[in-house]
Amino acid sequence: MISFDFMYFQPSSITETIDMYNGVHEQGEKAMYISGGTEFITFARTNKVYADVIIDSKGIPECNVLEMRNDDVVIGAAVSLNKITNSNLFPFLGATVKQIADHTSRNKITIGGNINSELIYKESVLPLLLVDARVKVVKGTDVRVVSLKSLFDRKMKLSPGELLLQIIIDSSYIELPYISLKRTKFSKVGYPVVSVAAILKENQLRVAFSGVCDYPFRSDEIEAILNDSTIPIVDRIDKVLGNLPSSIVDDLQGSREYRSFVLKNVLLDVMEEMEMGE
Amino acid sequence: MNWQNATSKAIIHLHVNGETQEVVVRNADTLLSTLREKLGLTGAKRSCENGDCGACTVLINGEPSHSCLSLAVEVVNLPITTIEGLLDSPVRTAFIDKWAIQCGFCTPGFIVNGHALLTNHPNAKEEIVEEWLQSNICRCTGYQEIKDAVNSLIVENDDSINKTHPRLSK
Ligand SMILES: Cc1cc2nc3c(=O)[nH]c(=O)nc-3n(C[C@H](O)[C@H](O)[C@H](O)COP(=O)(O)OP(=O)(O)OC[C@H]3O[C@@H](n4cnc5c(N)ncnc54)[C@H](O)[C@@H]3O)c2cc1C
Ligand code: FES
Ligand code: FES
């Protein structure tokens, strides 16, 4: 049971949504956006989050778009992970989000919720960072389209009241070779011990990680090491372990040693699958 | 929409098992607690309340959904089907025929999910069956019988399927 009470609204336009957020904020109360609402419900039940007003973005048409528009794939923030996979609009993203949670949960979990999650995993961010995705966000009357990279540093850096509307991907990335590998503790369903997504663009491997450090990341240094064909693959992978952006997570899902062992093996699989030999 | 006049409670209409029910809820009430405590539909079970076990599965707009992960106010205007609305489902009979029940606590969730699976994929391949059934946990570990029950209804059943444990296979 959620112990606190809140007001709930499902506005049907961006303007209504933003006006409501600002109105609540001006009264000194806490408003919170939700998309799928699953993280809000589980966090609220355990008193990890509080809000006076919940603003559900599912009713905003722009947040439900899932289509090819000119040369872009456009995905609304309130689109469920299963819809993304089933649409097959962008198979790399579809394959990665298919590894998140379980099939039933993916009917409710949205891409906007996953990207903005307070948890450390946010696995849908991995392919998006690799394909230079852009995001459409709105705050007040200001709608802007910016690179995801410019807003994502360990987590989404939206300012208070800013709403993620859409994710936009250049369709030229659709045909590129990709791989998405996730390893969990003991079943297919679970948070990642290690999750790695990779894509090959102009013979250069791009790689992003979740579950390794306590935030998802893509790193220029690591990509330079993995693309250095003068060094044997096993040495490149050893070098990657020494160049992670922060320490490896050490928790009940997996000790630091276990995670680094799994990471090495996953990277070997990635290099082999993507034919990144010496 | 004037938020200042709103309250933390609402009178809502839920469309459950083909009937429209009026119910007073806190906005904070989950669909699971509303079904069980306000509408007397106790087939969906409360267990983890965290999206992990599938015991609370219902169909929302035909899709399996954890009723512990929806607020009741989120699903007004959407058709909801609970296990009580699936009395005629062949999946229910298959569970009896294949002895896919031990203590029975997980059974409503599995039947609701299995019903949606077979409605959407009458010819489901093993990969799809695995993917869907992984959403539910059976603490009595009767996975093989549960899978047998679902597979017995798959059109063009293929004997090569059904060899692995749905939650523990890699
Ligand atoms: C059973 C289960 C298993 C899971 N397994 C995994 C896993 O394997 N890997 C993984 O990465 N994650 C996993 N998760 C976590 C899940 O992906 C996140 O909790 C995600 O946030 C849920 O999405 P939602 O749409 O329900 O989020 P919501 O509850 O709607 O929102 C989550 C957060 O995002 C913010 N937000 C939502 N929409 C917007 C928007 N449009 N603009 C700005 N902010 C917004 C909310 O304010 C909130 O802070 C799992 C969750 C469950 C329930
Ligand atoms: S009670 Fe809902 S998934 Fe366990
Ligand atoms: S039959 Fe007992 S939990 Fe499944």
For residue B29, give how far its alpha carbon lies from the nearest alpha carbon of chain A (Å): 7
Query: Which of A266, A268, A217 minimizes the C-alpha distance to A244?
Result: A217
Percent of chain B with pLDDT over 70: 89
Pocket lining: A197 vs ligand 1, CB cutoff 6 Å = no
Work out the percent of chain A whose per-residue pLDDT is above 70. 100
Sheet containing A31-34: give its strands across.
Answer: A7-9, A53-56, A31-34
**pLDDT single digits (tens) B63-102:** 999 999 999 999 999 999 999 999 999 999 999 999 999 9
Top-level class of domain A7-59: alpha beta
pLDDT digits (tens, 9 = 90+) for A109-152: 999 999 999 999 999 999 999 999 999 999 988 999 999 999 99
Give A20-58 pLDDT, tens digit per residue: 999 999 999 999 999 999 999 999 999 999 999 999 999
Strand partners, B31: none
What's domain B90-164's architecture?
Answer: Orthogonal Bundle (1.10)
Q: Report the SS3 class of residue A126.
A: helix
The answer to whether A7 contacts B73, with C-beta atoms less than 8 Å apart, is no
Cβ of A212 closer than 6 Å to ligand 1, yes or no, is no
| A264-275 average pLDDT score | 94
**Using CB atoms, which residue from B26, B74, B169 is nearest to A37?**
B74
Q: Other CB atoms closer than 10 Å to residue A12's CB: what's the count?
A: 12
Buried b (16+ CB within 10 A) or exposed e, A35-58: bbbbbbbbbbbeeebebbbbbbbb
Instruction: Name A173's Cβ contacts closer than 8 Å, sequence gap at least 6.
Output: A90, A92, A131, A132, A199, A201
* B169 has pLDDT over 70: no
Average pLDDT, chain A: 96
For range A212-230, the mean pLDDT: 97
> ipTM score here?
0.94
Where along chain A do its domains lie? 7-59, 61-173, 178-273
CATH code, A61-173: 3.30.465.10
* B18-50 per-position pLDDT tens digit: 999 999 999 999 999 999 999 999 999 999 999
Domain boundaries, chain B: 3-84, 90-164
**Is CATH 3.10.20.30 correct for B3-84?**
yes
Considering the entire predicted model, what is its pTM? Answer: 0.95
Pairing state between β A163-170 and A155-156: unpaired
pLDDT tens track for A54-99:
999 999 999 999 999 999 999 999 999 999 999 999 999 999 999 9
- Identify the residue whose C-alpha is closest to ligand 1 atom 7: A100
Q: How far is residue B41's CA from residue B34's CA, in Å, rounded to a whole number?
A: 9
| Rounded-to-integer distance, Cα A79 and Cα A107, Å | 9
Side-chain half-sphere exposure of A180, counting CA atoms within 13 A: 20
pLDDT of res. A251: 94
Per CATH, B3-84 and B90-164 having the same topology is answered no
Q: How many residues does chain B have?
A: 170
Contact A5 B28 (CB under 8 A): yes
DSSP B123: T
pLDDT tens digits, B108-139: 999 999 999 999 999 999 999 999 999 999 99
b vs e for B123-145, b when ≥16 Cβ sit within 10 Å of the residue's Cβ?
Answer: ebebeebbbbbbbbbbeeebbeb
Q: Which carries the bigger pLDDT value, residue B167 or residue A269?
A: A269
CATH 3.30.590.10 fits A178-273, yes or no: no
Distance, CA of A265 to chain centre: 23
**Phi, psi (degrees; rounded to nearest 5) at A11:** -65, 160
pLDDT grade for A210, boundaries at 50, 70 and 90: very high
Query: Which residue in the block uniquely carries the two structure tokens 């699936």?
Result: B86
Q: pLDDT band at B2, cuts 50/70/90?
A: low
